[in-house]
Structure formats: structure tokens, C-alpha cells
Amino acid sequence: MHSRHIGDVGVGAIGLGGMPMSIEGRPDEQRSIATIHAALDAGVTLIDTADAYHRDANDVGHNESLIARAVATYGGDTSDVLIATKGGHVRPGDGSWTLNGSPDYLKSACEESLKRLGVEAIGLYQFHRPDPTVPYADSIGAIRDLLDAGKIRLAGISNANSEQIRLANDILGGRLVSVQNQFSPAFRSSEPELALCAELGIAFLPWSPLGGISSAADLGSRFAAFAEVAKEYGVSAQQVCLAWMLAKAPVVIPIPGSSRPETIRDSVAAADLELSAEHFARLDQA
């Protein structure tokens, strides 16, 4: 697969989002591990997770543990696999999502993620979502401290606006390597952040790039232009969507969520789909 960069680390142009394998409606572990192995077989080297990707209060970090087991049991070389996780979101177990961006919490959450992933340093650690009760600079200061202490190798942020991207990069001393924001045909409000990342050379990781768990399968029926272009190329509308994102800027690395081997294989094929300028313009204006 074609590669792109997160900081100084090369990764496949399409990553794997792990959330669907651990939250409500999650499949059995055997299918999830098969999905991760299929991704690795296809050349995926970026796997995205978070300590909040779990369902019940007693299985915090379910997705991190699952990914660690899948990578450990894979028969091939995994030395170039970058596992990205996040801290700062909390799921108390009642289906809700809450926030905790306090420095002490982020540092303790990182320690727990280190244990679940079974590593000495996390490849990429990202502040999951701003906490309005905690100054943003304080939360990012904790990420900086983890980076300086060698607990994490790369630092990123998620769900951030342009002002927060610039502030985080400044606090991190120019070491911000990734921004993970929601971006899809249905959700384009992160266009300014994507453009800023392209300007600064920071990887932009669209989450829910196909519209989310409940909508990904219907992308073509919801957005006719993507279905029309897909028909012309003889591929899925989902492939066209990911190829469109890749064509927007060389810093874009989509991380479609998957819980089936066949869907991640289809997503990975988008890395080899080159859209014409005419098709790209049609999709960009859709």
C-alpha cells in the first residue's frame, strides 16, 4: 500500500479504526481478530484505538487489549505497525460519553494504556476531546510531559479546532504530528482544520470517514455523486470516498472503522484508486 507519514513514521495510506469492535453491537472476538489480521495482511500499519472504546464499566480499554492480542497473534512481521490510542474520554458504562482532560487523569490513563498495549512507549498518543472544565493548555501540557518522559513516542490531538491545533503545536514545541477530526461527505466542517494541517505538515486522520457505523453502508444512496463515480470505476462508493479524501492533501490518512475482514479489505483498495481531476472536483462539490 502507498505510504504517508505521521511525524517521521511511515504508515499505510489507509488505517483501521477499532471502535466498532468494542462498543455496543460489537462482534465476537474471533471475528474482530480476523478483521485486524485481514487489515495487516492488506498492508495496514496504522491502527487507531482509545481507552474509551469499550461497552461496560468493567471493560475499560477493551479495544486496546483486543488490538494488542490481535497484533501479538499475527503470524507476520508487525514491527512497523503504529498503534495510536487516546485518552480524555470516559465511558461510565451507562452508554454515555463524558470528559476528563485533567493532567493527572491523562497521565494515569496513559499508564493504564501502556499496560493494556503491553509496550514501553505508546506509538501515538492523542488527547481525545477538549474538556470545557479544564484549560486546553493544561491538558496539552500533560501530553507534552508524557512525550518528554518517553511514555509516548508521538503526540496528537483529536476533535480540535484550528486555534487549538496551533496552541497544541506551540505547547508541544512543534512536535504535534496528528489531528484526528470527524470528516466525511456528510460532515465537512473540519475543512479548515484539514487545510491547516496540510499547511503545517501535520497528519490529518478523518474519523468516521464513511459516515459512521450506522451510515457507512448507505453512503452511495445518500450521496449520489459518490455512487455515480463508483459505477464509472467499477468499485464501491466507500472506496471512492476514501480515494477522494486521499486526493485532498498528502497529509490525509483516513481511519475507517471496521469489524469485518471484507470491509477493511475494500477500504484498503482505495489507496490504489486514482481519481481524475474531473471526478475529484465533482465529489468535492457534492
53 is catalytic: yes
Here the cell at position 248 is: 485532498
Supply φ then ψ for residue 17, to 5 degrees: -90, 125
Q: Which of 53, 105, 125, 136 is catalytic?
A: 53
Rounded to an integer, what distance in angstroms lies between the CA atom of residue 167 and that of residue 150? 22
CA 15, 205, 272, 266 torsion: positive or negative? positive
Strands 9-12 and 3-6: antiparallel
Rounded to an integer, what distance in angstroms lies between the CA atom of residue 15 and that of residue 10? 12
Rounded to an integer, what distance in angstroms lies between the CA atom of residue 179 and that of residue 157? 5
Strands 89-90 and 98-99: antiparallel
Residue type at 225?
A: A
Catalytic residues: 53
